[in-house]
Structure formats: structure tokens, C-alpha cells
């Protein structure tokens, strides 16, 4: 793909935690489309890979290219264990993120994002993107800088309004300090807080200007796209327009909430994005959510889109980070009809609806889980009565949440996405005699994946791309 002239036709959607890891993004990128790594919690994924012995030596190979030197030695000393040496010991944890973290913690985040993008880009000229959640605010500046040090080509961000990000990318490209407003729950008149990242606080020799990646916000309404196109802090280079059938988090329905008999949020006409207004913005856009078919691509192109962003189909391919047993179990369950996807209005502590896969034989995190909050990526900042900042998550132990001023009603039905999603990729934390259970997410279209898989026990990213791209118009040369 020629990056300068043609936008990608297929974007492999960012899938956290660690589902769209470097191997998947690299495979898609090498096929001439946009492979996207997930930067969400990738620092935890990275130190867990090191504790699992770094099979293949990939982490350590990429670390040797990292321009901020000292951190690599200390990270290896703290987290690297030879293959098998961890045994049944729980994973060692990184310190939880807060508004201000120590230099070593910040550098680990820069490093982990660097490694993921560097590996995804290794050995080919294709383009690679990184996906971050706007709502996971505190690590995002360091994550972006790490990805940019590795030459990331695109930044894709949803789950919030990433209005400040374009100026952040402009600043980081020149190694200038960058700021983001930190959302703080509490009295409306309490002082706002900023997140600050200063690249020059991290010693290195080379301060050449970095490539400023293209910025593609992920939106679910034309009004948001319009705001971002006109009033963001700098340039926006396109949009992913995502519908409520997509995997992961969904935007809540517009208007008064209503629910199905099974308790799933109901979407209506007001949730259909006005593509006419998106087209008027004159920027490339991609449609996401149940678009991973030849017909999906054809109709997106006919609607004026540059192509489609696809998640679910890629999540179960050979190169994805999902645990191999989970992939096999779900693909087998599709054949027998034992799989369904539920839009859970309560599961995510963010308050956004979250798609949860229910599959026969697949153990899943539920209300029985003993709550632990030891990864903390979805913690939000709040103002304590003393005026300082505290951090809480509606999925943490209920008494702790309440003692921090949280409303007990917020805790009902919440799942620990941090621990559930890391379990999905074979990095479940050990808790005494038990382990954290998975919490699998996919788009509504998972159940029709069978039409593509046709009973196959596995398939590759190239199979997915070949299938979807067969919907592209044939270009007759000359």
C-alpha cells in the first residue's frame, strides 16, 4: 500500500487487551492493509511476557532498539524470568497508574508501547496503527510517545472525545511537553487537573523530529465527528464510524434508556449515523461493526467510505493474541450453536455497554469472583473531602469503593475488565489456588462467523483479508 496516496481499505481494529498484538498487526500490515496494535494495558502484557520467559526473544530483540537506555536493564532485572521459571507464582505487578507516576513507571509504559509497534513494523514497509481508549487517560501520553518513537503511522482512539489528542501528537513529534485534561469526579467547582508528559525528562541522544502519525478518532455519531473535525486541537485525518454491533465497548443508546427482556440496551433510529454529514466533512472514513464481509466492504465503499474496520473476524484468527484454547472452543461452539453475544449494560466499570461472549464450556468471570483491583487501568480520579486526588473503580472491592465515596449502586454487576481481558490472552493472574477467569468480548456478528469459517478449526489473517477484500471492486488496468 502506498501510504501517501491511498488510505487503507481494511483496518484491523485495535483489540485490547493484547488481542491485536504485534503479530496480528504485522500480518495484516504485510498484506497491504492497516494493522493496529492495542496499546491498552500493553505495559502489563509486556512485563507478563517477560515473566513468561519471552519465548522467541521478541521482547528483548525490540528492547535493544529502544532509544532510552537505562530502563531496559532495570525492567529486565525486575521482570524477566527464563522460560518456565515462574512456575505457579503470581505475576509481579507494575505500580498502578496515577496522575503523576515515577520516572521508571513512565518509562516502562513508553518502552512497552515502543516494543509493540516496533515489532509490528519489523521487516516490511506496511503501515501500522495503535489503538488507545480515550477514557484510560493516565498512561495515554507516555503510550503515544512510545508508539511514536517506533514510528507508528496511525493513532486510532475511541471511548471518549479525544479532542486534545491532535495537539498532543504535534507536540510529541517535536519532543515538546504535552498535556491532557484529567477528568476528576467531585464537586463541579473543584480545580481541574492536568496530565503532563515531558519527553525531555527522559535522557537520550537523538532528538530528531518524529513522524506525526495520522489521527483517526472512532466515533458513533456525526455530531462528534463534526466537532472533532472543526474544533479539535489540531488536524484529524479521518474517522472510524462504529455502530453498536461492534465488539468491545459500545456507545450508549441515545435518548432515554430502554432495555430488552434480557436486559440488553436497545438501540433505535437515533443511533444510526448520518453518513451524509460524515461525507460532508471531506475526510476519509471507515465503517465498523458487522462490516467484515465482502458485502460489508462493498456497501461501505458505495456509501463513500474508504473501507471498513473489522475486529471480531480477526480476533479468532491464528495470529491474534487470544488464548488458543478459547479460540478453538468458540469456533467449535459456533458449529454446535453454543455461542451467543450479549450487550451487557453493567459489566464495564466505565458505564459503557460492553459485549460479552457466552459460550458453552467457556468459563467466564461472574458475580462469584472475589474482587481485586490490582491493574487499575479503568480507575477514575475523584476529589477527596481533603481536596486531594483519589482513584477508584466500580469493579474494585465494594467496601473500598464505598469508602472512597463511591455509590454502592454503581458496583452492581460490574466485572473486572483488566483481569478478565488479560486472562483472555493466557495471562491470567494466579490467586492462591484459583486463577482469574476470562471475560471474552466480540461483536454481535460472531455468530455469523461460521459462514466464513465453514467449520474450519482455525484460519489466518490472510484468510480474513482475502474474504473481505473479495468485495472490493476489481480495478481494470490501462
The CB-of-399 to ligand FMN minimum distance in angstroms stands at 30
Please report how the helices 42-51 and 70-79 are oriented relative to each other, as an axis angle in degrees rounded to 10: 60
Site string (220-239) toward ligand FMN, x via CB under 6 A: --------------------
Q: Which of 21, 24, 31, 40 binds ligand FMN (CB under 6 A)?
A: 40
Cβ atoms 170, 211 nearer than 8 A: no
d(CA 311, CA 302): 21
Using CB under 6 A as the binding rule, whether residue 248 contacts ligand FMN is answered as yes
Closer residue to ligand FMN (CB): 14 or 126 = 14
Closer residue to ligand FMN (CB): 16 or 253 = 16
Using CB under 6 A as the binding rule, whether residue 288 contacts ligand FMN is answered as yes
Q: What part of residues 309-338 is at the interface with ligand FMN (CB under 6 A)?
A: 309-312, 315
**Cis status, amide bond into 17, omega within 30 of 0:** yes
Which helix (H) or strand (E) element contains residue 72?
A: helix 70-79
Closer residue to ligand FMN (CB): 253 or 289 = 289
Taking CB under 6 A as the binding criterion, the range among 9-17, 26-34, 369-377, 463-471 that sits at the site for ligand FMN is 9-17
d(CA 6, CA 1): 7
Cβ atoms 292, 469 nearer than 8 A: no
Q: Which of 133, 144, 297, 345 binds ligand FMN (CB under 6 A)?
A: 133
The CB-of-209 to ligand FMN minimum distance in angstroms stands at 28
For ligand FMN (CB under 6 A), the number of binding residues is 29
Q: Which of 7, 13, 139, 265 binds ligand FMN (CB under 6 A)?
A: 13
Using CB under 6 A as the binding rule, whether residue 443 contacts ligand FMN is answered as yes
Using CB under 6 A as the binding rule, whether residue 15 contacts ligand FMN is answered as yes
d(CA 269, CA 390): 40
From the list 422, 413, 325, 400, the residue with the least C-alpha distance to 366 is 413
Q: Which residue number has the CB closest to ligand FMN?
A: 311
Using CB under 6 A as the binding rule, whether residue 344 contacts ligand FMN is answered as no
d(CA 247, CA 161): 19
Using CB under 6 A as the binding rule, whether residue 353 contacts ligand FMN is answered as no
Using CB under 6 A as the binding rule, whether residue 35 contacts ligand FMN is answered as no
d(CA 364, CA 359): 9
Closer residue to ligand FMN (CB): 343 or 441 = 441
The burial class, CB within 10 Å (0-12 / 13-18 / 19+), for 226 is middle
The CA distances from residue 161 to 6, 229, 265, 376, in Å, are 27, 12, 22, 21
How many CB atoms are closer than 10 A to CB 361? 10
Using CB under 6 A as the binding rule, whether residue 8 contacts ligand FMN is answered as no
Taking CB under 6 A as the binding criterion, the range among 41-49, 67-75, 307-315, 406-414 that sits at the site for ligand FMN is 307-315
Amino acid at each position: 500500500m502506498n501510504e501517501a496516496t491511498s488510505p487503507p481499505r481494511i483496518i484491523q481494529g485495535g483489540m485490547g487487551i493484547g488481542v491485536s498484538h504485534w503479530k496480528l498487526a504485522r500480518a495484516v500490515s504485510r498484506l497491504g492493509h492497516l494493522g493496529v496494535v492495542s496499546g491498552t494495558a500493553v505495559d502489563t502484557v509486556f512485563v507478563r511476557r517477560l515473566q513468561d520467559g519471552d519465548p522467541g526473544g521478541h521482547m528483548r530483540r525490540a528492547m535493544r532498539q529502544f532509544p532510552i537506555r537505562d530502563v531496559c536493564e532495570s525492567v529486565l532485572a525486575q521482570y524477566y524470568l527464563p522460560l518456565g521459571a515462574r512456575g505457579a507464582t503470581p505475576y509481579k505487578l507494575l505500580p498502578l497508574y496515577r496522575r503523576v507516576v515515577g520516572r521508571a513507571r513512565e518509562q516502562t509504559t513508553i518502552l512497552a508501547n515502543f516494543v509493540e509497534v516496533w515489532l509490528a513494523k519489523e521487516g516490511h514497509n506496511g503501515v501500522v496503527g495503535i489503538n488507545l481508549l480515550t477514557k484510560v487517560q493516565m498512561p495515554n501520553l507516555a503510550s503515544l510517545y512510545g508508539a511514536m518513537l517506533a514510528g507508528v503511522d496511525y493513532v486510532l482512539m475511541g471511548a471518549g472525545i479525544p479532542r486534545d489528542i491532535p495537539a498532543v501528537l504535534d507536540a510529541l513529534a517535536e519532543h515538546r511537553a504535552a498535556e491532557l485534561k484529567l477528568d476528576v469526579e467531585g464537586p463541579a467547582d473543584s480545580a481541574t487537573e492536568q496530565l503532563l508528559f515531558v519527553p525531555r525528562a527522559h535522557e537520550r541522544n537523538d532528538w530528531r523530529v518524529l513522524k506525526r502519525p495520522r489521527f483517526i478518532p472512532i466515533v458513533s455519531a456525526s455530531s462528534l465527528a463534526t466537532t472533532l473535525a472543526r474544533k479539535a486541537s489540531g488536524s484529524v485525518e479521518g474517522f472510524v464510524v462504529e455502530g453498536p454491533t461492534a465488539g468491545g465497548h459500545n456507545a450508549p443508546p441515545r435518548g432515554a434508556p430502554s432495555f430488552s427482556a434480557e436486559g440488553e440496551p436497545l438501540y433505535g433510529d437515533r443511533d444510526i449515523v448520518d453518513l451524509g454529514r460524515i461525507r460532508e466533512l471531506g475526510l476519509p472514513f471507515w465503517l465498523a461493526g458487522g462490516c467484515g464481509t465482502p458485502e460489508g466492504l462493498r456497501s461501505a465503499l458505495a456509501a463513500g467510505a474508504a473501507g471498513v474496520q473489522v475486529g471480531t473476524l480477526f480476533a479468532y484468527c491464528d495470529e491474534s493474541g487470544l488464548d488458543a484454547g478459547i479460540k478453538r472452543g468458540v469456533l467449535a461452539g459456533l458449529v454446535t450453536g453454543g455461542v451467543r453475544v450479549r450487550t451487557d449494560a453493567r459489566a464495564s466499570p466505565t458505564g459503557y455497554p460492553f459485549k460479552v461472549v457466552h459460550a458453552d464450556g467457556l468459563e467466564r468471570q461472574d458475580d462469584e469472583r472475589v474482587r481485586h483491583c490490582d491493574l487499575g487501568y479503568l480507575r477514575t480520579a475523584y476529589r477527596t473531602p481533603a481536596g486531594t486526588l483519589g482513584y477508584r473503580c466500580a469493579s474494585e472491592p465494594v467496601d473500598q469503593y464505598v469508602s472512597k465515596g463511591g455509590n454502592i449502586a454503581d458496583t452492581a454487576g460490574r466485572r473486572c475488565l483488566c483481569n478478565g481481558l488479560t486472562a483472555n490472552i493466557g495471562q491470567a493472574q494466579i490467586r492462591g489456588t484459583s486463577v482469574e477467569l476470562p471475560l471474552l468480548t466480540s461483536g454481535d456478528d460472531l455468530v455469523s462467523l461460521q459462514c466464513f469459517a465453514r467449520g474450519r478449526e482455525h484460519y489466518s489473517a490472510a484468510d480474513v483479508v482475502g474474504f473481505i477484500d473479495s468485495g472490493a471492486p476489481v480495478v481494470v488496468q490501462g
